[in-house]
Structure 1
Amino acid sequence: MTQSASLHSLNPNTPHSQLTFANLSHMGLMSVTGEQGRTFMHGQVTTDISSLESHQWGWGAHCDPKGKMLASFRTFVVEDALFMMMPSDTLAVDLPQLAKYAVFSKVDLVDVTTDWIILGVAGEQAPTWIAEHFGEVNHPLTTISGGVLLKDEGRFIIIIKTASYEALTSSITQPIQDQSVWQALEIQAGYPNLAASHQGQFVPQMCNLQAINGISFKKGCYMGQETIARMKYRGGNKRALYILAGTSSQPLLVDSRLELALEDGFKKVGTIIEVVQSSEQVLLTAVLPNDTDNSSVLRVAGDENSTLHIQPLPYSLEDKD
């Protein structure tokens, strides 16, 4: 049974956070198969699909011809299939975009979300629990019975066939939390889980994809490459992904507006990418001007009592490639 948890429960000093399970029901899976499947995707996305090995997973983005993101995703290989994991609402609108070009290649693109269950495992005891149930995990991706296991620092994502899920949950003795718990961890990691409503708005560098190995500047041509490469080599990017935490009495959504405190008032600024809220406590990622000072104070538009402060990013914004 899925259970919601407060943002306070994510504090590493609370007992509950020592081992947390979360049902990632907000995430979807696309499979890419066929003789030219990997070649096709290599020419569509920012990451280097051709060199992706069976024990690896990586971030990437699918962009339009102008270099604006249609989706951000994790990608990995299971046997003969390439998988792309992204928010379900984004997958629903991104798959048809890819399919328009796939008709010219020997490739099958299928939404296989209902065939799999995605479970997140986090907390200080997560590595121990994983080792007890799946053995020692030495690679970013490990094949397990009925699925795969993705390792992301001290967190793990179990992607398992629906038919095998019941056997797995029989070994879990505590409530499985809902997606908001995992979203909070993804926000704290500075990850860019792009919602469908933000398609076509941001070049990948505006969401820090270059900082999490989501862009290859060494691979061949792909959709939107010219704009993305120009932004790297000629500059011009004026936005970046920030982590914000604070309070708001209003229910927040990704289309809620933010305001930046100035000496003489407030200025509307930025776009929320992902947000979680427990009572009045909020945690979110937002694209802001990249010259926004870390000491800046923001608030939610329409909520004069709200206060948001910028949190440190857990990575450098320098390119990894």
Structure 2
Amino acid sequence: MTLTVSQPQWSVTEEIPELVFCNLSHLGLLSVTGEQGRSFIHGQVTTDISSLSADQWMWGAHCDPKGKMLASFRAFSINDALMLMMPKDTLAADLPQLAKYAVFSKADLVDASDSWIILGVAGQDANTWVETQFGEVLEPVTAISNGVIVKDGERYIIVLAAETSDAIIDKLEQPIYASSVWQSIEIKAGYPNIAAVHQGQFVPQMCNLQAVNGISFNKGCYMGQETVARMKYRGGNKRALYILTGTSKNPISLESQLELALEAGFKKTGTIIEYAQSGEQLVLTAVLPNDTTDAAVLRFADDETSSLSIQPLPYALDDE
């Protein structure tokens, strides 16, 4: 079963409809099983996998030995499998990195993306729809007969086994929006969705991972821990994730260059992490110098008519 997008257009300036369904085809699932699967992943990532219960999910990151992120992800369980949800291109690039070390453990790592359908549900009526279909959902992760429901505030990510998803998909009476709609929602949440092109560029704190509880400073050793801990206890982080909104007459990409307005002109700055664009309207997250003020004005280097402004983060942020 595949989700057919019937409403691909979306204006990032619009309010979320009362009920919106999104095809999260941009996300993949890395399945971790085996006798030592969880302990192996625990020793590789920033979050405390050993404390992850069946009804919880966590943000986390996998870093290289220098503490630079190779992937950011949500971790949760489906039955006996630990799942790491991340962009598909990131998964394809990160799986071989994890597999190099998994050969020394009784752990099986598999790209399970094709076995699951991932549906996003948002809007003020999302809770009513979910509870009508699946019953009361109170915990961050709720097991259902053919998958799980990941509750993220007032939003839901429903992970359904592909071969049994027809019964639910056929009940969707609303249009199914493209993944860019969900990305616009997560951008406004200030989430650190790292693409493959960003591998090896940022220490987790540069993408605000600590602000979404994606770093445990009390767990044991993991890949890159020394750098991550030093940045917390000794400082030195000079970058952070920002939310920007604005306009551009050109289609943008993750490689588009940002410029900061100064008195003497414009200066190249920052890196785009994720974006959603509809026509000339767009929202994006970008890693910028953390002394960038809320009043800063930015644009794209290839579009002098473009304009971007910084929006408030929905969480507290500090140098830790």
SS at match of 1:260: strand
Aligned-residue RMSD, C-alpha: 1.1
Tell me the residue number matched to 1:4.
Answer: 8
1:25-40 residue pairs with structure 2 within 5 A? 25-40=25-40
Tell me the residue number matched to 1:54.
Answer: 54
Residue 251 of structure 2 corresponds to residue 251 of structure 1: yes
CA distance in 1, matches of 2:253, 2:264: 27
| Displacement after TM superposition at 1:5 (Å) | 2.7
Contact 2:206/2:287, CA 8 A, preserved across alignment? yes
| Displacement after TM superposition at 1:317 (Å) | 1.2
Tell me the residue number matched to 2:260.
Answer: 260
CA distance in 2, matches of 1:289, 1:319: 12
| Displacement after TM superposition at 1:198 (Å) | 0.7
CA distance in 1, matches of 2:34, 2:255: 38
CA distance in 2, matches of 1:185, 1:224: 30
Tell me the residue number matched to 2:193.
Answer: 193
Residue 70 of structure 2 corresponds to residue 70 of structure 1: yes
- The amino acid of 1:81's aligned partner reads A
1:164-179 residue pairs with structure 2 within 5 A? 164-179=164-179
Tell me the residue number matched to 2:224.
Answer: 224
Contact 1:209/1:215, CA 8 A, preserved across alignment? yes
Contact 2:12/2:276, CA 8 A, preserved across alignment? no
Structure 1 length-normalised TM: 0.97
| Displacement after TM superposition at 1:164 (Å) | 1.6
CA-to-aligned-CA distance 1:262-321 (integer Å, 9 cap, x gap): 01100000000001110100110000000000010000111100000001100011489x
| Displacement after TM superposition at 1:4 (Å) | 1.0
CA distance in 1, matches of 2:312, 2:161: 37
Residues matched between the structures, number: 316
CA distance in 2, matches of 1:7, 1:52: 37
| Displacement after TM superposition at 1:130 (Å) | 0.7
CA distance in 2, matches of 1:64, 1:242: 23
CA distance in 2, matches of 1:194, 1:177: 22
Paired-residue identity, %:
67
CA-to-aligned-CA distance 1:157-191 (integer Å, 9 cap, x gap): 00000012111012110111110000000100000
Contact 2:12/2:283, CA 8 A, preserved across alignment? no
CA distance in 2, matches of 1:235, 1:286: 21
Residue 204 of structure 2 corresponds to residue 204 of structure 1: yes
CA distance in 1, matches of 2:12, 2:313: 20
SS at match of 1:18: coil
CA distance in 2, matches of 1:139, 1:269: 40
Tell me the residue number matched to 2:94.
Answer: 94
CA-to-aligned-CA distance 1:207-248 (integer Å, 9 cap, x gap): 000000000000000000000000000000000000000000
Tell me the residue number matched to 2:285.
Answer: 285
Contact 1:210/1:319, CA 8 A, preserved across alignment? no
| Displacement after TM superposition at 1:79 (Å) | 2.0
- The amino acid of 1:6's aligned partner reads W
CA distance in 1, matches of 2:12, 2:78: 36
Gaps of 5+ in 2: none
Contact 1:7/1:184, CA 8 A, preserved across alignment? no
Tell me the residue number matched to 2:114.
Answer: 114
1:8 to 1:205, Cα distance in 2 relative to 1, 3 A: closer
1:9 to 1:159, Cα distance in 2 relative to 1, 3 A: farther
CA distance in 1, matches of 2:297, 2:51: 43
Structure 2 length-normalised TM: 0.97
Contact 1:71/1:86, CA 8 A, preserved across alignment? yes
